[in-house]
Amino acid sequence: MKFGTKAIHAGVEPDPSTGAIMTPVYQTSTYVQASPGDHKGYEYSRTHNPTRTALQNSLAALENGAYGLCFASGMAAIDTILKLLKPGDEVISTNDLYGGTYRIFTKVFAHYGIKFHFIPMDNAKEVEKYINSNTKLIWMETPTNPLLNIIDIKAIANLGKKHTVITVVDNTFATPYLQLPLDLGVDIVMHSVTKYLSGHSDVVMGAIILNDKEVAARLAFLQNACGAVPGPQDCFLVLRGIKTLHLRMERHCDNAAKIAQFLSEHPKVDKVYYPGLSTHPNHAIAQAQMKAFGGMLSFTLKGDKIEDAKRFLERVELFSLAESLGGVESLCGHPATMTHASIPKEEREKAGLKDSLVRLSVGVEDVEDLIEDLRSAIG
Ligand SMILES: *Cc1c(COP(=O)(O)O)cnc(C)c1O
């Protein structure tokens, strides 16, 4: 099946008892057994729930993976992946990444004896220098947040294979519509389902998709043992959101490309960060591994003053100033004071995250209206 067909049909079947075309919300904590141990595959909803099962199967199909697991948030999914490690293990991570990921690495798992190296990942040879016998995980985010750098997924996946290190891609920004990390040789794909997969700013959820049976069994054990599972109502909402993922992503990408062009020609804009621009340093890799360039972009203002960024963010009317991304409505944010405030200023500067940097999550409105809003807010 092609992507759009999978988005609508994969993992879901009409309800056998009624024919209901939409997966019911199985709002139940437990399931009746005929005699002890004699059940229909469902015992308790932390372990399994039919609405969640449908969503997990749908996500696995979209990422071309064998197994899908859903969690109460993207952070709960990250937490579960890190619980594959033990004290003494080392992780290599890209240095430009979601602030919450940086926080759970440095403020939670570092306290359990796991060592993290944060490095740029544009050159696999440089990454290889950090691999030693304790290295167990390589964490990628591409496009990165908020600088929209692109990592060559295949090159890093090959490195992982060569040294038997698990490779992970946080695929939140791209979604499986734009790139398929498992097909490029990565071991684990992780999502903040909260963003594009849900797509309507009404759910917080996370997911993990992978092919390895043993690792999947361990992660399923952790999902049940630690218990950060989503409820059936949220699973239903995401199943609904996924049905239009391909349509939404096309419009997100078209709108973002036009806005990137508009901004790059604006006299008050200093730099535009968008992998679809031919001036982007990783444009060629983006073109090779992504179907299109996504709905996220960032830009800086000439002079790099925090007050100018603030004024812009106060003046926008269609773009809402808010955390998060990937919904149908356009959002804007200021990473240095919002999503990335948990990263110390000197770490931010090392990663090239400027004070005036504004991040846009371009929605699916009419692009002419969005451009007009940006034009008047920049002034
Ligand atoms: C939002 C986000 C997360 C965290 O997910 P939550 O659902 O908010 O817990 C992780 N990675 C990326 C890239 C994100 O944008």
| Domain identity same for 289 and 221 | no
Pocket residue to mutate for ligand 1, from 70, 71, 75, most atoms within 8 A of Cβ: 75
Averaged over 49-75, what is the pLDDT? 98
Packing angle of the helix pair 213-226, 74-82 (nearest 10 deg): 120
More confident residue, 338 or 170: 170
| Domain identity same for 106 and 119 | yes
Nearest residue (CA) to ligand 1, atom 4:
74
| Domain identity same for 236 and 254 | no
Pocket residue to mutate for ligand 1, from 71, 192, 338, 340, most atoms within 8 A of Cβ: 192
Helix (H, G, I), strand (E, B) or coil at 35: strand
Percent of all residues in the chain with a pLDDT value above 70, rounded to a whole number: 100
| Domain identity same for 215 and 249 | no
| Domain identity same for 264 and 147 | no
Domain harbouring 166, CATH code: 3.40.640.10
pLDDT for residue 267 is more than 90? yes
Report pLDDT digits (tens) over 35-50. Answer: 999 999 999 999 999 9
| Domain identity same for 266 and 357 | yes
| Domain identity same for 96 and 187 | yes
**Cα distance between residue 190 and residue 172, in whole Å:** 7
Beta-strand relationship, 206-210 and 67-71:
antiparallel
Distance from Cα 347 to the centre of ligand 1, integer Å: 20
- Among the candidates 207, 240, 273, a domain finishes at 240
- Among the candidates 217, 240, 263, a domain finishes at 240
| Domain identity same for 254 and 111 | no
Averaged over 200-209, what is the pLDDT? 98
CB neighbour burial string for 191-224, b if at least 16 within 10 angstroms, e if fewer = bbbbbbbbbebebbbbbbbbbeeebbeebbebbe
Report pLDDT digits (tens) over 210-235. Answer: 999 999 999 999 999 999 999 999 99
| Domain identity same for 200 and 311 | no
| Domain identity same for 279 and 336 | yes
Helix (H, G, I), strand (E, B) or coil at 145: coil
Q: How many domains does the chain have?
A: 2
Domain harbouring 289, CATH code: 3.90.1150.10
Task: Round the average pLDDT of the chain to a whole number and report it.
Answer: 96
Q: Find the residues whose C-beta lies inside 6 A of ligand 1.
A: 73-75, 98, 100-101, 141, 145, 170, 172-173, 192, 194-195, 204, 206
Residues with a catalytic annotation lie at 46, 98, 170, 195
Closest CA to 179 of 215, 140, 146: 140
Q: Quote the domain boundaries for residue 306.
A: 245-378
| DSSP letter, residue 139 | E
Averaged over 85-109, what is the pLDDT? 95
Distance from Cα 98 to the centre of ligand 1, integer Å: 7
Nearest residue (CA) to ligand 1, atom 9:
74
Report pLDDT digits (tens) over 110-120. Answer: 999 999 999 99
Distance from Cα 75 to the centre of ligand 1, integer Å: 6
**Cα distance between residue 72 and residue 365, in whole Å:** 29
| Domain identity same for 226 and 330 | no
Averaged over 296-307, what is the pLDDT? 94
| Domain identity same for 177 and 161 | yes
What pTM does this model have? 0.96
- Among the candidates 208, 240, 272, a domain finishes at 240
Report pLDDT digits (tens) over 338-363. Answer: 878 877 888 888 878 899 999 999 99
